[in-house]
A and B are shown apart, each in its own frame.
Chain A
């Protein structure tokens, strides 16, 4: 749950943070007795979820989950940087994590020990909303079928595997692999399976393709030439089409990678498969959980009056779109947007069709189909233009443009569309940036750095084609 949701970056569990500091921490034991009753209430309301294991953990641990996205994850210095940012945020009172839930069977929910009773009641209802979502949403289901329902355990075993690699091969070498793999963590293809086969080595046999009048005449005319043409197997180009799944491609086709290095790439990739639905349904998912925590709480007559009032106050902090004392917010709070959208959908179309939307959509279809002109107006959404010098101007309230701008940072897992274009015969790797899709070229310096990371594990030259500021073709390379 989050109060300033838009400030919550990156993939992760459904982390929540809020700016208010709630100091009472007596809620621990008492809250446990409500969990069962809230679950029963949720089931009666039509929610269907795998059992969830709740655990109260220290705030420091909550913060680490927010940083790593998983309770136990591989070590890497870049997480240390995020950790410090998170620490600073917390010290400035901008962020406090109430709860993190991981889908699975059973699901794992971690609650901050410092939560009060009211917060824990609210959070429990929120978690049940997420559990319902992650069990029924198709994107979640599809990805979970790939990575199994035990991502928490898998990630822990990846961490152990990498720790062992550090012991056997040394920090420097493992870090070089992780630098490259984590730099490419968004570059996967969730439309493909997690465990993929290599591309076919040869082109399909031509003989089966053309078996017609022409061929018979050709063979009659010159049997030797015909045999050459029709029966010589040809090596298939690799990849046969631009390949978006860079992690898989490198792990599979790198000419000189050692097997433990490939394993690290595949471990990062598996975690990315888990993170993708979290990322691509954030508005829906947080909105759904917020809708249900509000509704369950309203219907939970067993919760004491005071706790109810406190919980509602906490709810309004979490879904608050605009910071206190401000007129406008320059980012949308996904909790608030999702919550408002679900409220309006359920009001106008009923719970049944809302559940269907929840099952079938992701944020792209959800925002395009269900963020209506009326709702956008009611929420006061506007589009603005920010210049790098800090000048910010309001542009318009145009619905299609609003939808596009909300969704723009979410395409392609939030990364530029870079794919493998070609594996050259000398083993060098040729990456292609699809600048027409992205509208402009890559940040050249960062691109070069990533190529350097990649070069260290690919061990042959790596090039990347993109465009420069003027739009003319440009090739970056690390040799």
Chain B
């Protein structure tokens, strides 16, 4: 039988069945992912990976190298070439053009290939929560009227659309086992899925992001805040089936924005924190019932608040803190290390000392973002467990 006849008959050769190259490539890929995973906080701390709406993050990585003993690279190496060339001819000059360099003699370098690894944000959050041992937040369950249909058991009668074929077939097989000989389906065999109503605990959450966009907040400050907010959303989304986000920006006034607009906003002028806090309070009272929602507030600012605003901001913040599961303050202070010795820093310290669930953290750099996430989520856990 010739090869073509064999393949026509479907007698595939062993090498048609799998690709060893692809198998080993997948293993390489797995190893890359492992090493990316190890360096994840550094990699994603950079603001560039974040992409609104995207559920994945793209991380540029190099291929792994399997190391061998090699001689030290020298600045100059010799090779043999072929063609029309005289001693002294310059065949390539990087100052003239970059691309024409051929492979060096005996060179093992095959040109750098960069991979763009696409990682699901959900995976990253899972990894990080494991790795950083971030406690999982427990939802505060309020009294709830919500109900949901869930599956519960089987019955012999039901709507055609709820017929469970697998289950029914099992019944048929059972019956066949008892009575020898062929037997077809009877009505006795049919099983239908049943549904029941169940009360569901409240699993809604709303997180308010309040951003100071006054003149003193630089682009970089806003980007730091954005990166922080992004991971907070991811962290909370892990816990709540439905997470609502509200974006409020303020200078001496406050406005609510949509997410894409929010991070583009720049403002000028001074800072009056109470306007922002009052806006949050207003929206909260309007739309969110603390009994049904888990409420979070995160406020990012450089900390400069006008001194005369203290009393009013305090009142607003206390009111919010009473309803919220947690209120957090990140001080984005690129270049400065004031360690929360600011007007706003004091404000949050006060309400925390009064027993409200609140905390503060300073972000100077993208590397600090993870520290902040960890800080707040650890603190949040304590706040929930503490009083109960």
| Chains A and B bind each other | yes
Question: A-side interface residues toward B, CB under 8 Å?
Answer: 6-7, 9, 28-29, 55-58, 60-61, 63-64, 67-68, 71-73, 75-81, 83-88, 171, 179, 182-184, 186-187, 321-322, 326-333, 336, 379-397, 402, 405-406, 408-409, 414-416, 418, 433, 438-444, 446-447, 449-450, 453, 469
The reply to whether B66 and A384 form a contact with Cβ atoms under 8 Å apart is no
The reply to whether B113 and A443 form a contact with Cβ atoms under 8 Å apart is no
The reply to whether A402 and B80 form a contact with Cβ atoms under 8 Å apart is yes
Residue from B67, B82, B101 with most neighbouring chain A CB atoms (10 Å): B82
The reply to whether A381 and B22 form a contact with Cβ atoms under 8 Å apart is no
Is B307 part of the contact surface with A, judged by Cβ < 8 Å? no
The one of B27, B79, B92 in contact with A80, judged by C-beta atoms closer than 8 angstroms, is: B27
The one of A6, A186, A387, A393 in contact with B103, judged by C-beta atoms closer than 8 angstroms, is: A6
Q: Please indicate the chain B residues that have their CB under 8 angstroms from the CB of A171 in the complex.
A: 27
B32 CB to nearest A CB, Å: 9
The reply to whether B83 and A327 form a contact with Cβ atoms under 8 Å apart is yes
- Contacts across chains A and B counted by CB atoms under 8 Å: 241
A466 CB to nearest B CB, Å: 9
The reply to whether A29 and B20 form a contact with Cβ atoms under 8 Å apart is no
The reply to whether A447 and B83 form a contact with Cβ atoms under 8 Å apart is no
CA–CA, A382 and B82, complex, Å? 6
The reply to whether B21 and A416 form a contact with Cβ atoms under 8 Å apart is no
The one of A71, A87, A187, A438 in contact with B71, judged by C-beta atoms closer than 8 angstroms, is: A438
B174-205 vs A, Cβ < 8 Å mask (1 yes, 0 no): 00000000000000000000000000000000
A108 CB to nearest B CB, Å: 13
Contacts A332-B80, A450-B67; A442 near B72 (Cβ below 8 A): yes
Q: 5 other contacts beyond A78-B66, A83-B24, with CB at 8 A cut-off?
A: A29-B2, A68-B21, A80-B22, A81-B66, A380-B83
B24 CB to nearest A CB, Å: 3
The reply to whether A77 and B64 form a contact with Cβ atoms under 8 Å apart is yes
Q: Please indicate the chain B residues that have their CB under 8 angstroms from the CB of A395 in the complex.
A: 78, 87
CA–CA, A78 and B27, complex, Å? 9
CA–CA, A415 and B70, complex, Å? 7
Which residue of A is nearest B68, CB measured? A183
CA–CA, A333 and B85, complex, Å? 17
The reply to whether A394 and B82 form a contact with Cβ atoms under 8 Å apart is no
The reply to whether A381 and B80 form a contact with Cβ atoms under 8 Å apart is yes
A84 CB to nearest B CB, Å: 6
Q: Please indicate the chain B residues that have their CB under 8 angstroms from the CB of A450 in the complex.
A: 67-69
Q: Please indicate the chain A residues that have their CB under 8 angstroms from the CB of B21 in the complex.
A: 60, 63-64, 67-68, 79-80, 83, 86-87
Question: What's the dominant secondary structure at chain B's contact region?
Answer: loop
The reply to whether A390 and B98 form a contact with Cβ atoms under 8 Å apart is yes
Which residue of A is nearest B15, CB measured? A61
Q: Please indicate the chain A residues that have their CB under 8 angstroms from the CB of B94 in the complex.
A: 389-391
The reply to whether B84 and A60 form a contact with Cβ atoms under 8 Å apart is no
The reply to whether A9 and B69 form a contact with Cβ atoms under 8 Å apart is no
The reply to whether A443 and B72 form a contact with Cβ atoms under 8 Å apart is yes
B49-72 vs A, Cβ < 8 Å mask (1 yes, 0 no): 000000000000001111111111
Contacts A384-B79, A443-B73; A79 near B89 (Cβ below 8 A): no
6 pairs, CB–CB < 8 Å, chain A vs chain B: A183-B69, A331-B103, A336-B82, A382-B83, A387-B76, A446-B67
The reply to whether B91 and A328 form a contact with Cβ atoms under 8 Å apart is yes
A159 CB to nearest B CB, Å: 9
The reply to whether A382 and B70 form a contact with Cβ atoms under 8 Å apart is no
The reply to whether B75 and A388 form a contact with Cβ atoms under 8 Å apart is yes
Q: Please indicate the chain A residues that have their CB under 8 angstroms from the CB of B258 in the complex.
A: none
Is B110 part of the contact surface with A, judged by Cβ < 8 Å? yes
The reply to whether B92 and A392 form a contact with Cβ atoms under 8 Å apart is yes
B26 CB to nearest A CB, Å: 7
Q: Please indicate the chain B residues that have their CB under 8 angstroms from the CB of A402 in the complex.
A: 80
B107 CB to nearest A CB, Å: 9
CA–CA, A178 and B233, complex, Å? 43
Is B77 part of the contact surface with A, judged by Cβ < 8 Å? yes
Is B257 part of the contact surface with A, judged by Cβ < 8 Å? no
Q: Please indicate the chain A residues that have their CB under 8 angstroms from the CB of B74 in the complex.
A: 440
CA–CA, A385 and B70, complex, Å? 20
Q: Please indicate the chain B residues that have their CB under 8 angstroms from the CB of A67 in the complex.
A: 21
Interface size class of B (residues with CB under 8 A): 35 or more
Residue from B25, B31, B72 with most neighbouring chain A CB atoms (10 Å): B72
Q: Please indicate the chain B residues that have their CB under 8 angstroms from the CB of A327 in the complex.
A: 83-85
Contacts A83-B24, A387-B76, A449-B67; A64 near B19 (Cβ below 8 A): yes
CA–CA, A139 and B82, complex, Å? 29
Residue from B93, B94, B98, B106 with most neighbouring chain A CB atoms (10 Å): B106
The reply to whether A386 and B24 form a contact with Cβ atoms under 8 Å apart is no
Q: Please indicate the chain B residues that have their CB under 8 angstroms from the CB of A330 in the complex.
A: 79, 81, 91, 102-105
Contacts A80-B26, A83-B21, A330-B79; A408 near B105 (Cβ below 8 A): yes
Contacts A58-B15, A64-B20; A384 near B91 (Cβ below 8 A): yes
B residues 1-22 in Cβ contact with A at 8 Å: 2-4, 13, 15-16, 19-22
The one of A328, A382, A389 in contact with B87, judged by C-beta atoms closer than 8 angstroms, is: A382
The reply to whether B105 and A328 form a contact with Cβ atoms under 8 Å apart is no
The one of B4, B69, B90, B101 in contact with A29, judged by C-beta atoms closer than 8 angstroms, is: B4
Is B160 part of the contact surface with A, judged by Cβ < 8 Å? no
Is B23 part of the contact surface with A, judged by Cβ < 8 Å? yes
CA–CA, A266 and B31, complex, Å? 26
B147 CB to nearest A CB, Å: 48
CA–CA, A395 and B78, complex, Å? 9
Which residue of A is nearest B3, CB measured? A56
The reply to whether B78 and A405 form a contact with Cβ atoms under 8 Å apart is yes
CA–CA, A333 and B82, complex, Å? 9
The reply to whether A79 and B24 form a contact with Cβ atoms under 8 Å apart is yes
B37 CB to nearest A CB, Å: 15
The reply to whether B113 and A392 form a contact with Cβ atoms under 8 Å apart is no
CA–CA, A71 and B13, complex, Å? 13
The reply to whether B31 and A77 form a contact with Cβ atoms under 8 Å apart is yes
Which residue of A is nearest B21, CB measured? A83
Q: Please indicate the chain B residues that have their CB under 8 angstroms from the CB of A409 in the complex.
A: 105-106
Contacts A77-B28, A385-B78; A394 near B15 (Cβ below 8 A): no
Pick the 10 closest A-B CB pairs, nearest first. Answer: A409-B106, A328-B83, A80-B24, A83-B21, A80-B25, A78-B66, A390-B94, A330-B102, A449-B67, A80-B28
Residue from B71, B78, B89 with most neighbouring chain A CB atoms (10 Å): B71
CA–CA, A150 and B16, complex, Å? 23
The one of A58, A390, A393 in contact with B16, judged by C-beta atoms closer than 8 angstroms, is: A58
Q: Please indicate the chain B residues that have their CB under 8 angstroms from the CB of A184 in the complex.
A: 68
B101 CB to nearest A CB, Å: 5
Residue from B4, B65, B73, B80 with most neighbouring chain A CB atoms (10 Å): B80
CA–CA, A184 and B63, complex, Å? 20
Contacts A77-B27, A179-B66, A406-B80; A388 near B91 (Cβ below 8 A): no
The reply to whether A385 and B24 form a contact with Cβ atoms under 8 Å apart is no
CA–CA, A382 and B21, complex, Å? 38
Contacts A391-B93, A450-B67; A75 near B102 (Cβ below 8 A): no
Q: Please indicate the chain B residues that have their CB under 8 angstroms from the CB of A58 in the complex.
A: 15-16
